Amino acid sequence: MSFVGLAAVSWELWEFSLDRVFGKSTQVDLPDTMVDMFFGLLGGAATLMLWFVLRKKQY
């Protein structure tokens, strides 16, 4: 989960950097950023739970 959180934050920093350097508008507003991070963490949590379920069935 730490890696997923790091990836989500890194992605948002990348978008922010592109906006500042190239004058783009990839970051619409704060709710967009929060939703991106939420769904990134949700996907990571779902993958982790699936991994635990499949691993438990294996043993």
CA angle 46, 26, 18 (to 5 degrees): 105
What pLDDT shows up at residue 23? 86
pTM of the full structure: 0.76
Positive or negative torsion for Cα 49, 51, 57, 59: negative
What pLDDT shows up at residue 4? 93
Q: Average of pLDDT values for 26-53?
A: 92
DSSP 3-state of 18: helix
How many structural domains compose the chain? 1
Q: Domain residues for 50?
A: 2-58
Tell me the per-residue pLDDT of 16-34, one tens digit each, with 9 for 90 and over: 999 899 988 877 788 889 9
